[in-house]
């Protein structure tokens, strides 16, 4: 069985800011977007809060209207900002969270077709029997993307089973699973309603549990994940969210073991490094093993000529960019045949290029994703 995880960062529609070639533009917009939403959640807006809101709104190009080049203010009820005719200046009218309902959201745009093709190529090249996908819009979109892959001739074996359970993210980016013929999806369990002690949802998306039956009859429990991002600043709230998610997934794993399941996989984008305190309950508080620690996990596809074999799964693949994982219960870890990180559709940098890419992949915005695909072959 070949199993893999890939954060595709949306298949057909992606935040428009990611179509910009300048990575600093990404960071500036994402940071301002995140900071503005944090200010919106305050129960009372001080004069300083209001002034800062106006600064961020101006930075995002929304001072004179609710829609900027990359973001928009989504208003459900009440009024956040008043925009009188010039020369009068806009001002924040709401005095706190109870005065209005709304948020700042990232505007979406179509993914560059070359980027879609590179995503499709990577999925087709790896050919995982069980593929966990992160940041996918919906099951119908996933089905449509499979049609796109087949039309482009890059999917040698189509996926027979595809499943996505809608999560808690209002942007509609969820985690899901695709499996080949002979790997049916059995029972499923969602955790979208699991709550932290403060009553807030634990998961920004979900941590579904999927039962997979292999052609040999083995039962595999697969738990795809997408933990809280560090975008907008890795503040105390962000760390607390990831810690809560890590604790919850560790508890699910221990429950499954207690119930008699031996073959368990936790995989996906955990948005933190192996040495982080936030992932410690999952990485060190359970018997789960990171497949990249297995001696047969050797295919890193670095070819810069310097012997570098980084284990990073994001950006330029440095060791401190390891945030995507394939964690295996001991029964599965002992059966790993080989594994690696596939990067052929990921931007390799240029001084020098760190790995071999598709020949017609020449611009950064054509990248399949900022995340790399992690995979393993397991004899089960």
Q: What mean pLDDT value characterizes the chain?
A: 91
Q: Residue 327 pairs with which residues in a beta bridge?
A: 266, 290
User: Any idea which of 23-27, 54-58, 290-294, 328-332 has the lowest mean pLDDT?
Assistant: 23-27
pLDDT at 300 over 80: no
- pLDDT in the model for residue 27: 78
Beta strands in 26-138 (DSSP E): 71-78, 81-82, 91-92, 100-106, 108-110, 130-136
pLDDT at 307 over 50: no
Burial of residue 284 (number of CB atoms within 10 Å: 0-12, 13-18, 19+): exposed
Q: Which residues contact 75 (CB under 8 A, 6 or more apart)?
A: 66, 100, 101, 102
In the structure, what pLDDT confidence band is assigned to residue 304 with cuts at 50, 70 and 90? very low
48-58 pLDDT, tens per residue? 999 999 999 99
Burial of residue 295 (number of CB atoms within 10 Å: 0-12, 13-18, 19+): exposed
SS3 category, 339: strand
Mean pLDDT throughout 305-334?
84
Domains of the chain and any CATH numbers? 2-13+110-378 (3.60.10.10), 18-108 (no CATH)
Mean pLDDT throughout 334-357?
92
pLDDT at 293 over 50: yes
77-99 pLDDT, tens per residue? 999 999 999 999 999 999 999 99
Q: Is 355 left (phi over 0), alpha (psi -120 to 50) or beta?
A: beta
Residue with tokens 């060190």: 284
Number of CB atoms found within 10 A of residue 95's CB? 14
139-161 pLDDT, tens per residue? 998 999 999 999 999 999 999 99
- The pLDDT > 70 percentage for the chain reads 94
């Amino acid at each position: 069985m070949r199993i893999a995880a890939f954060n595709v960062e949306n298949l057909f529609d992606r935040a428009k800011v990611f179509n910009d070639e300048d990575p600093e533009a990404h960071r500036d917009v994402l940071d301002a977007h995140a900071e503005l939403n944090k200010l919106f959640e305050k129960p009372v807006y001080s004069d300083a809060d209001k002034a800062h809101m106006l600064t961020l709104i101006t930075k995002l190009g929304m001072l004179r209207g609710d829609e900027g080049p990359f973001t928009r203010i989504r208003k459900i009820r009440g009024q956040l900002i008043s925009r009188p005719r010039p020369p009068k200046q806009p001002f924040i009218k709401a005095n706190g969270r109870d005065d209005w309902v709304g948020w700042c959201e990232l505007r979406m745009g179509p993914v560059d077709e070359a980027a879609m093709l590179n995503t499709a190529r990577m999925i087709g090249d790896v050919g995982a029997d069980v593929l966990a996908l992160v940041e996918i819009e919906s099951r119908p979109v996933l089905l449509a993307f499979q049609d796109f892959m087949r039309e482009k001739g890059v999917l040698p074996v189509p996926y027979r089973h595809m499943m996505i359970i809608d999560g808690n993210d209002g942007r509609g980016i969820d985690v899901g699973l695709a499996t080949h013929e002979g790997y049916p999806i059995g029972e499923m369990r969602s955790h979208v309603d699991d709550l932290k002690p403060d009553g807030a949802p634990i998961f920004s998306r979900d941590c579904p549990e999927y039962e997979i039956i292999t052609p040999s009859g083995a039962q595999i429990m697969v738990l795809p994940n997408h933990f809280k991002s560090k975008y907008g600043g890795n503040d105390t709230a962000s760390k607390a969210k990831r810690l809560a998610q890590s604790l919850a997934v560790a508890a699910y794993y221990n429950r499954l073991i207690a119930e008699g399941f031996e073959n368990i996989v936790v995989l996906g984008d955990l948005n933190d490094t192996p040495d982080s305190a936030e992932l410690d309950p999952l990485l060190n508080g359970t018997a789960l093993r990171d497949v990249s620690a297995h001696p047969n996990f050797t295919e890193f596809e670095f070819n810069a000529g310097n012997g570098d074999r980084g284990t990073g799964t994001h950006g330029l693949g440095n060791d401190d960019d390891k945030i995507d994982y394939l964690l295996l219960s001991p029964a599965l870890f002992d059966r790993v045949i080989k594994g690696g990180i596939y990067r052929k559709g990921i931007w390799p940098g240029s001084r020098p290029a760190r790995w071999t890419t598709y020949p017609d992949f020449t611009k950064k915005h054509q990248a399949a994703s900022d995340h790399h695909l992690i995979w393993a072959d397991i004899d089960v």
